[in-house]
Structure 1
Amino acid sequence: MLKKFMALSASLLLVGLLAGCGGNNNAANNGAGTNGAGSASGNAGSAKEVTINMFTASPEYTEAFNAYIAEYKKVKPNVTINLEIMQADYNTVLKSKIAAGSTPDVFQTTAGGDIDTFAEYSADLTNEPLAAAMTDAVRSNMTSTDGKVLGFPVKGNLFVLMYNKKLLADAGITEVPETVAQMQDAITKLEAKGIKPFANAYKEWWVWKHILQHYVDAAAQDAGTDPKTLVADFIAGKTTFKDHPVMYNNFFEFIDTTVKYGTDKPLERDSNAQVSDFALGKAAFMTGKGAWDEEAIKKITPDFQLGIMGYPVSDKLEQSMIITGADQALRINKDSPVAAETIEFFNWLYTSEYGKSWFSTVAKVIPPIKAAPLPDLDMPKQMDEILKTEKSGDLSVIYSLDTFHQKFGELMQAYIGGSKTKDQAIDEIQKAWIQFGSAAQ
């Protein structure tokens, strides 16, 4: 067991947000359900003193978390929720807790492949109200290979190339670039106006996977397969970057372009610096990020004219797609002495009126559940409009573990830093995919 967890990544994706919750008197009628740990205790609704320990990795949402904790206290005065939030080294500490037999009552992991990695520690939520509340796409991200819902989303997510509408208009760009050729034309126009095209955060290992997944989706389409199958083939060593021109050529050419026409010292720019650069109008496009950044941008520049688009991964218009889904999951420790009470809490969270509104009005994230309103923000609204006429790309980032993605990010940093050639980086990426990409390793 310990050997298995020593193979996990040193840190989780830092963009995961804790799922919302809330409270009204409807919640008092929501039981813990009839499945698994939810029915393990007949005292789930009693007045006994209960303490639930949660361990998550989203410090930027501390105020929002405290809001729903306070709200639930009104519904269940006997329940105390201790929230421990860690950003750096989260996954290392989580591994240590599990290895020491002190697994938190609630903990956070990535979705997709890591659903299986942590399966033996996770309560089966398949028949719980919270599972029924999820959208179909999100529920699939929380489901193990044997068909069990073992996690629940911390939020819905959106991965895009962001752009500054005003800067594009100032450069005479009337339509967002959807192909490689159109992007090159846009860069030329921006440069002519003295506008830096790209704001990057290449100091962060996790931004790289957000970009790569757009090229994985295109490569799968070109190969006549689906992204999940293609990623499995990479992990099995059945295919490599060199078999897919959109990855071997287009991806690296895009990265080279963002470095050449991007903000200075890309390996020294972290996520906060990138957001600041973009929000202050120092660059027209922001790479590797998603919906979680909008509020930070608007805090710096309240009237910022924000736009979203798919990456121009090729010369095929249809391959420029935004990507939606849920890439982060909360898990309930199946062996927790308060598993029943914890499941009761999250069932309430996902079905109460306060819980539904928490996503949009308090956390201001894209709700991962049905019948919940979108937040009053530009990115979710634009996403909703785009998806009325276009399909979403596959959240292919979840088909590999973060153990691989962290190594991938480090290798890409070495590439742009000049210590590895393109082919050297690709060879090591392929080895890393085989070694770290799957929970089965």
Structure 2
Amino acid sequence: MLKRILSLVLVSVMATGLLTGCGSKKSADGADKTTTISDKPATIKMFVNSPEYTDAYNSFIAEYKKVKPNVIIELQVMQADYPTILKTKIGSDDIPDIFQTTAGGEIKQYAEYSADLTSEPLSKAMIDSVKKNVSLDGKVLGLPIASNLFALAYNKDLFATAGITKLPKTIAELEDVCKKLEAKGITPFANGYKEWWVQKHIFQHFINASTDNSEKLVGDFIAGKTTFKENPTLLKYFDFINLTVKYGTPKALEKDFSAETSDFATGKAAMITGQGGWAEQGIVKINPNIKIGIMGYPINDDPSKSTIIVGSGAVLRINKDSKVLKETIDFSNWLYTSEYGKKWFSDVAKAIPPITDGSYPNMQMVNDMQNILKTEKSGDEAIIYSLDSFHQKFGEIMQAYIGKAKTMDQAIDEIQKSWIQLGAAK
């Protein structure tokens, strides 16, 4: 059942008249360029689940209008039930021309529907580490939207008001910070636990802290070879969630992404959970003067386990059987290789580019990330090793736990069973 559609944007980009042959046009960087434009209209259907980039998507669609005025791009942005709706579309042979999945495990799950992009210019433009996350058997089967940054973000001014000069790296230090904030009348946490996906962003930090090989540990859970009890650091995840609810804004299960980021941006809370670099643009739009910092999630009593995570998880896939395959690949190559595209990641999407010619955006979280990584290592993006069908179920189980409809033992039992049933492509 469809819980919520965050945004449905239909952008129709059409020529005012059919164009044939050659004509002088302005390229994305403003230079005159002679271009051959097909007179064949084409409609590209794009189905994604990253609402934080909706404005950025609309920007590149509008820009592409100048390059291919005969192309219509229909953009549908969904979040809550995206994995389910995508499977429904595939099952009914209504596969979008461009659709979004995660990297890692889902590369294999959706391989049979994905165009091979290995020989395309966009593949050559990718950073090698990013290309590895979207490849299977030597074939590039997707193009990442961005490199992601996952961390616990905080309001520097509110921390200063509470006299906090040292960032917490253990769970005990984190609780002490919460008490100092509350003593000044400041709510410590903004939580968006109405969203299932925030849980996977938090939980992966605990997977990282449990092992030096996240892929193997996740694989062992999927194979039923290990349990939470054999990995006691994972049990600390429940302690962390309990702490955020105890010291968080009211009605955490009723707060979605927009409400959570609004609470943080307006100073109603000092820290924001389950988010990362993608959230900053919306936060700053609400409060341009906010000063944001990031830190690793405090896990247990070992400060070395508190790390930030950097990786590429969100991937656009091109339907190999698309009726407008050439036009769709042309559009994707343009995004990765044109002068506009090279700047789009950092200047428009405000994201860490997955391409070699990109530059870091001037964002507070990214600047903090660069400083942190001068002396500390980042963690692995463990969420890519499980399918989003598992992560959605995982999030729903945790919602029931937070709402006290399940005990911790019941939640753990269901998570372990769901990992086996839904964790990997069968």
Provide TM-score, normalisation by structure 2: 0.88
Question: Does the aligned pair in 2 maintain the 1:50–1:79 contact within 8 Å?
Answer: yes
Aligned to 2:106: 114
Q: CA deviation at 1:208?
A: 0.7
- Partner SS for 1:288: coil
> For the residues of structure 1 that align with 2:188 and 2:228, how far apart are their CA atoms?
27
> For the residues of structure 1 that align with 2:126 and 2:4, how far apart are their CA atoms?
23
Task: Detail structure 1 runs of 4+ shifted over 4 Å in the superposition.
Answer: 9-15, 24-30, 44-47
Q: Give 1:206's aligned amino acid.
A: W
From 44, 49, 71, give the equivalent of 1:52.
44
Aligned to 1:411: 397
Q: CA deviation at 1:217?
A: 0.5
Q: CA deviation at 1:88?
A: 4.5
Aligned to 1:196: 187
Aligned to 2:145: 154
> For the residues of structure 2 that align with 1:197 and 1:315, how far apart are their CA atoms?
20
Change (3 A) 1:367 1:416: same
CA RMSD of aligned residues (A): 2.6
Q: CA deviation at 1:322?
A: 0.8
Q: Give 1:362's aligned amino acid.
A: V
Residue 297 (1) aligns with residue 283 (2): yes
> For the residues of structure 2 that align with 1:276 and 1:82, how far apart are their CA atoms?
29
- Partner SS for 1:243: coil
Query: 1:295-343, CA deviations, whole angstroms, 9 ceiling, x for partnerless residues?
Result: 2211222111111111011222222111111211111111113212321
Aligned to 2:74: 82
Aligned to 2:411: 425
Residue 435 (1) aligns with residue 421 (2): yes
Aligned to 2:222: 235
- Partner SS for 2:211: helix
> For the residues of structure 1 that align with 2:370 and 2:356, how far apart are their CA atoms?
14
> For the residues of structure 2 that align with 1:85 and 1:373, how far apart are their CA atoms?
26
From 109, 114, 127, give the equivalent of 1:135.
127
Q: Give 2:106's aligned amino acid.
A: D
Aligned to 2:207: 216
Provide TM-score, normalisation by structure 1: 0.86
Aligned to 1:247: 234
Question: Does the aligned pair in 2 maintain the 1:52–1:105 contact within 8 Å?
Answer: yes
Aligned to 1:3: none
Which structure features the higher share of helix residues? 1
Change (3 A) 1:27 1:190: farther
Question: Does the aligned pair in 1 maintain the 2:346–2:359 contact within 8 Å?
Answer: yes
Question: Does the aligned pair in 2 maintain the 1:14–1:57 contact within 8 Å?
Answer: no
> For the residues of structure 2 that align with 1:157 and 1:188, how far apart are their CA atoms?
31
Aligned to 2:271: 285
> For the residues of structure 1 that align with 2:32 and 2:63, how far apart are their CA atoms?
11
Question: Does the aligned pair in 2 maintain the 1:12–1:91 contact within 8 Å?
Answer: no
> For the residues of structure 2 that align with 1:13 and 1:256, how far apart are their CA atoms?
29
Q: CA deviation at 1:401?
A: 0.9
Residue 93 (1) aligns with residue 85 (2): yes
Residue 372 (1) aligns with residue 358 (2): yes
Question: Does the aligned pair in 2 maintain the 1:151–1:332 contact within 8 Å?
Answer: yes
Residue 64 (1) aligns with residue 56 (2): yes
Q: Give 1:64's aligned amino acid.
A: A
Change (3 A) 1:106 1:240: same
Question: Does the aligned pair in 1 maintain the 2:83–2:388 contact within 8 Å?
Answer: no
Query: 1:330-384, CA deviations, whole angstroms, 9 ceiling, x for partnerless residues?
Result: 1111111321232122112111111011112222222121221222221122122
> For the residues of structure 1 that align with 2:152 and 2:119, how far apart are their CA atoms?
37
Aligned to 2:320: 334
Give 1:4-43 correspondences, 5 Å limit: 23-24=28-29
Question: Does the aligned pair in 2 maintain the 1:53–1:83 contact within 8 Å?
Answer: yes
Q: Give 1:143's aligned amino acid.
A: S
> For the residues of structure 2 that align with 1:337 and 1:416, how far apart are their CA atoms?
45
> For the residues of structure 1 that align with 2:242 and 2:62, how far apart are their CA atoms?
48
Change (3 A) 1:253 1:84: closer
Q: Give 2:385's aligned amino acid.
A: Y
> For the residues of structure 2 that align with 1:12 and 1:110, how far apart are their CA atoms?
20
Aligned to 1:275: 261
How many residue pairs align between the two structures? Answer: 407
